[in-house]
Amino acid sequence: MSYVNNIKMFVRVYELGSMSAAARDQRTSPAVASARISELEKHLGVRLFNRTTRSLQPTENGRIFYEGARKVLEAIDEAEAAVVDVTQNPRGSIFVAAPLGIGRRFIAPHVPAFKDMYPQIDVRLRLSDRNVDVTAEGLDVAFHLGLLEDSTLKVRLVADCPRVLCAAPAYIAGRGMPADGAALVAGHHDCLNLRFPGAREFQWTLQTPEGPRRFEITGPFESDDGDVLTGWALDGRGIVMKPIFEVAEYLREGRLVPVATATPPTATQLSCLSQHRRFRDPKIRLFVDFIVARIKADMAARMQGLVLEPNG
């Protein structure tokens, strides 16, 4: 297996463009990663990377070898998956990424139960509201909240997610109730902004009688954590746009109220992403089926009986 491990390290160094990043990905040290690459180069009799103190670039031989090495690893994954008895002995680690709110509410609470059912499967959960690169970061599964553009990944739709603009009653008492997007902008309301790399900041797409329209919004508060925005909204600091399931309890209790209901936000989607070759791994299919079923049940329970009244 030493040679296969060397190939795995090479592929991750190639994809991540960094010896230290690949070492972290493979849970080892940069020294070990460098030694594995050197051993592989010695075995092949060619240099796979040009190294300097500041950069690491694949050679032409490295680019050629990567294409074949990736196919070798895919074939090994498929062969192992074909002989694993998933009902008896699924094992290994699953690397999972999810948005903070989704992960905290719908995934993390169920991981222990999954582990109880499959004690030889370890779940490595990473939570962040930034966009992740499933392939580059070596993820097995990533949950994505938002409309997807064309993707080369395997995509499983988990749920359609209607959204709402809402604010605390105290905010409305002090600043007034915007009836629609135009009033939202004209009234110079404080909007709570989600900022992260790649985000389309300071624009909300709302459904108008003429169709979807983007509104430029402003506000003194922004964060890369969606739950922080919810906390500010509850504190009366501004208007927030949220999937309804995230704020259903506050809407039901009256701690938040819908605003600009004449032009509601366009809906978004929660999807589960995976590389095609990795989704063939039985343990990953087991995890996805398990978590998706519980996400759907939890979302339905949160939304049950909730009726949003339009404001005037």
pLDDT number for residue 206:
92
**How does residue 109 score in pLDDT terms, banded at 50, 70 and 90?**
very high
pLDDT number for residue 194:
83
Looking at the structure, do residues 60 and 182 belong to the same domain, yes or no? Answer: no
How far apart CA 64 and CA 308 sit, in angstroms, is 58
**How does residue 305 score in pLDDT terms, banded at 50, 70 and 90?**
confident
Q: For the segment 144-194, what is each residue's pLDDT rounded down to a tens digit?
A: 988 877 667 888 899 999 999 999 999 999 999 998 988 888 777 999 988
Looking at the structure, do residues 37 and 72 belong to the same domain, yes or no? Answer: yes
pLDDT number for residue 254:
93
Looking at the structure, do residues 20 and 104 belong to the same domain, yes or no? Answer: no
List the CATH number of the domain containing 143. 3.40.190.10
pLDDT number for residue 275:
81
List the CATH number of the domain containing 18. 1.10.10.10
The tokens describing 163, both together, are 């959204």
The residue to which tokens 């670039």 are assigned: 57
**How does residue 82 score in pLDDT terms, banded at 50, 70 and 90?**
low
Mean pLDDT of 124-135: 84
Q: For the segment 271-298, what is each residue's pLDDT rounded down to a tens digit?
A: 999 887 776 788 888 999 999 999 999 9
Looking at the structure, do residues 171 and 182 belong to the same domain, yes or no? Answer: yes
Give which of 287, 288, 279, 280 is closest to 79, Cα–Cα: 280
How far apart CA 125 and CA 224 sit, in angstroms, is 18
Looking at the structure, do residues 182 and 36 belong to the same domain, yes or no? Answer: no
- The letter for the amino acid at 142 is A
**Which residue range is the domain that position 105 belongs to?**
92-157+269-303
Looking at the structure, do residues 149 and 289 belong to the same domain, yes or no? Answer: yes
**How does residue 81 score in pLDDT terms, banded at 50, 70 and 90?**
low
φ, ψ of residue 161 to 5 degrees: the values are -130, 95
Mean pLDDT of 213-229: 88
179 exposure class (CB count in 10 Å sphere: 0-12, 13-18, 19+)? middle
CB–CB of 90/118 below 8 Å?
yes
Looking at the structure, do residues 113 and 253 belong to the same domain, yes or no? Answer: no
Q: For the segment 22-73, what is each residue's pLDDT rounded down to a tens digit?
A: 888 788 888 888 899 899 888 889 898 988 777 788 899 988 898 888 888 8
Give which of 280, 242, 293, 279 is closest to 139, Cα–Cα: 279
Q: 244-253 and 282-303 are packed helices; what angle lies between their axes, rounded to 10 degrees?
A: 30
pLDDT number for residue 244:
93
Looking at the structure, do residues 54 and 186 belong to the same domain, yes or no? Answer: no
Does residue 200 carry a pLDDT above 60? no
Is 310 among the domain residues?
no
Looking at the structure, do residues 175 and 260 belong to the same domain, yes or no? Answer: yes
Q: What are the CA-CA distances from residue 194 to residues 216, 229, 232, 248, 266 (Å)?
A: 14, 7, 12, 19, 16
Looking at the structure, do residues 41 and 99 belong to the same domain, yes or no? Answer: no
Of 48-57, 164-173, 234-243, 252-261, the range with the lowest mean pLDDT is: 48-57
CB–CB of 249/164 below 8 Å?
no
**How does residue 87 score in pLDDT terms, banded at 50, 70 and 90?**
low
Q: 226-234 and 244-253 are packed helices; what angle lies between their axes, rounded to 10 degrees?
A: 20
- The letter for the amino acid at 123 is V
Does residue 1 carry a pLDDT above 70? no
**How does residue 90 score in pLDDT terms, banded at 50, 70 and 90?**
confident
Q: What is the pTM of this model?
A: 0.71
CA 118 to mean position of chain CA atoms = 24
How far apart CA 63 and CA 84 sit, in angstroms, is 32
Instruction: Provide the 8-state DSSP code for 239.
Output: B
CB–CB of 208/254 below 8 Å?
no
How far apart CA 160 and CA 269 sit, in angstroms, is 5
Give which of 261, 260, 258 is closest to 248, Cα–Cα: 258
The number of beta carbons lying within 10 Å of the beta carbon of residue 212 is 11
CB–CB of 104/198 below 8 Å?
no
Q: What is the DSSP string of 262-281?
A: TSPBPPEEEEEEE-HHHHTS
pLDDT number for residue 100:
87
